[in-house]
Structure formats: C-alpha cells, structure tokens
Amino acid sequence: MKAAYLDCFSGISGDMLLGALVDAGLDFNLLQRDLAGLDLDEYELYEQKVIKQGISGTQVHVHSLEGHVHRNLSDIREIIGRSVLPAQVKDRSLEIFTRLGKAEAKIHGTDIEQIHFHEVGAVDAIVDIVGAVIGFWRLGVEKVFSSPIHVGKGFVKAAHGLLPVPAPATLELLTGVPIYSQDVEGELATPTGAAIVTAYCQDFGPFPKIKVERIGYGAGTKDLIIPNLLRLTVGELANEDSQHEGIRVGEALTLEVNIDDMNPELYDYLFEKLFQGGAMDVYIQDIQMKKNRPAVLLTVQTPYHKLEEIRRILFEETTTIGLRVYPIKKYMLPYELLTIETKYGSAQVKVAFWEGRACTVSPEYEDCRRLAQLTGKPLKHIYEEIKEKAKQDIIITR
C-alpha cells in the first residue's frame, strides 16, 4: 500500500502541502491541467525553488487576479461539482470544505450555509485544497500519516482582527489531534492545512514503517528560526511482519462504558449517532456489575481525531457519568468486493486474502436479503449458494 507521512515540525498549510507534493514528484504541468478542470480564470499558479535554513524546498504560489472573492459553501460545491475532475477528487475536496464550514460555523455561532469563507473561500484556498487532493491521487497515495502538529504561538491578523494562535477555526479542526507549541512566533498551522490533514489522517504519531520512495519539502513564505518547511515522505507501507504481505496496520481508540440504568430502546438511536459521528465499530455485551446488577458494556472504536465527537455523544445520549479510553493497534487483511452472478441475481461478496490467497468469503447481507425477498427462497439457502458460487469463481479466475 502506498502511504505518505507528513512531518509537521513547522506546521502545515495548504500551499506548503502543495509545494511538498510537487517537490516529491507531482508533475506541475499535469497539476495545472487538472486544476484547469475547475474552470476558474481568476488566478495564476507558479512554483519556485527556495532555501530555508540550508534546506531546499518548493514554494507554490497562487496569485489571485481579482482579489479575494467571498464564497459560501454552496458556491464552492457548485464550482467543484461542475468540474471535470474525477469523482474521488471531487468528493474528498468537498469533504475538506465541509469540515472548514462546520468549524467556522461553530466558532461564529451560525449555520454552515450562512458562512462566507473569507480567505478560505478565496481562489487560493480552493486551488490549495483541490490541488492537494489531486496530488495525493496522482501519486497513488492510499493512506496518510502525520506527526503531531506544531501550531506556533502569539497572535495572527485575520478578517476579524487579531486572533490567538492557533486560530479558533484551526484549533476546532484539530480537536482530538496531538498538537504542540515551541518558541516559534506566529501561525504555523492554518485552517486550510488543518482541514486537509484531518480529512486524510487517522494516525498522528512517529514515522510508520515505510519503504521510502519519494521525499518532498514544501516551503512556507515566512522566514523562521526553524526551517519553514513541511516534509512529505511517500513510499510503500511496510508490514509489521514482512512475510505476511498485504496486512494493513492501523491505530485507533477503544472507548468503554458500563451502563445499568438506561432504557434499552434508546440503543438503536445511540448506535446511529455514534456511526454518524465517525465511530468505526460499536457493540454491547451483557455484564454483571456490583450488587449483582445486570448491565451492558458498550464498546466504541474510533479514530483518534474523532475522540471528542464520540465522547460528546456518549455523555449526551447515555446515562453514563464516566468512560474509559484505550489505544489499540488493528491488523486488517486486504479484501476485495466482488460482484457474483447467480441464478437468483447479482450479489456482492467480500473476499479477504492471506498471503495472496482467498481465506474468507462473505456474501453481503443486504444483497442476500434482497434476493431472498425477491425469490421467496430461505435467506440461509441464498447466502450459502452465493458463497459457494463465489468460491468457484475465485478458483477459476485466480
């Protein structure tokens, strides 16, 4: 799996990330052609090599030809939606802008559609965000890791006056992410950079085990007491045990709650809220508590950056007054979703692989349920026949 690591020792911004991607080998002319798909003619894009504290990096400039154009989220949706960019680039770009909108709306105490993005809605931010998404896509990056974020200190001048560093929107976006500040004055992490990194990253920590293929340095505009650079490393993600090729390793958090006084009817709504909030898995187990009271153990797995949201939901939607949080490591087999044609109709099957061979074949429940309702056949028979047909197809095609 192709992975990237963002070393944010001098923070992160949209233009620094774009510079790092170009420095790591993203074809600048191809990037320009891709961005032309946005059909925006109010900017010019250029690159230059610079030196920061003796280290060479790439600086990408977006020169606005018409000054800042204040746009709301609907305007940006329209620009990206009508573009000729690939669907995956559009979707990820819109996700990042939605993150920005939610953060700004919360800070200003208003609805997301009422937010005018000011600098964020200007053409340079659109180019930075969409360009970064294009860059990861063009370099084939499937997973992104990041170091803790250096945010800087002091105050920054913004449209609303002087704001503390990190800016309120930046800090909101970095909720649940490890950040730090050292003796570097100024804003190092911007809202745009924070929105991009939290959209891509679930793991914030030391370098993962990676076989390095490309290294890029994206330069900021300021001269600091440290190199004002974002370092990007791209390569093949190494497995914890190299003989088991393809296993994905990730980190997450497990939250546990003991509940003995909650109406069981409420759990359905709770599960729905938790999954909407970013939970990766939710389940309950029967337990026996002190004084022999029957209760349930509610367990939630979540990415690090979703901790605050999941914690809020648990305290708001359950009767608990406390919870436990544990870091966990996840080992995941690679899998494919295959479409199997049967005499009942088509159904998707999830096939997991161990050392290059299919080891688990699981028909998708909703497809089996649909075919059972359509044909009147017992669900268990439909399930088993699809599973057997999938095994035969895998043997024939592999």
Q: Taking a C-beta distance cutoff of 8 angstroms, is the pair 187, 150 a contact?
A: no
Which domains are present in the chain? 2-237 (no CATH), 248-332 (3.30.70.1380), 335-397 (3.10.20.300)
Mean pLDDT of 132-136: 97
What are the tens digits of pLDDT across the range 169-211? 999 999 989 999 998 999 999 999 999 999 999 889 989 889 9
Q: Residue 69 has what pLDDT?
A: 64
Mean pLDDT of 375-390: 94
Residue 149 clears pLDDT 80, i.e. is over it: yes
pTM over 0.75: no
- Could you give the residue ranges of the DSSP H alpha helices within the chain? 14-23, 28-35, 73-81, 87-108, 123-138, 168-173, 191-200, 267-276, 307-317, 365-375, 379-397
% pLDDT > 90, the chain:
65
The pLDDT confidence band at residue 323, using thresholds 50, 70 and 90, is very high
Q: For all residues of the chain together, what is the average pLDDT? A: 90
C-alpha torsion sign, points 322, 326, 331, 336? positive
Q: Taking a C-beta distance cutoff of 8 angstroms, is the pair 13, 193 a contact?
A: yes
Mean pLDDT of 324-331: 90
Tokens of 171: 């800090």
Q: Residue 231 has what pLDDT?
A: 98
287/59 Cα distance (integer angstroms): 58
Highest mean pLDDT among 12-26, 56-70, 89-103: 12-26
Q: Taking a C-beta distance cutoff of 8 angstroms, is the pair 304, 176 a contact?
A: yes
Tokens of 282: 């939710």
Residue 225 clears pLDDT 90, i.e. is over it: yes
**Angle between the 14-23 and 191-200 helix axes, to the nearest 10 degrees?**
60
Q: Taking a C-beta distance cutoff of 8 angstroms, is the pair 217, 56 a contact?
A: yes
Span of 64-78, 273-287, 382-396 with lowest mean pLDDT:
64-78
Top pLDDT among 308 and 116 is at: 308
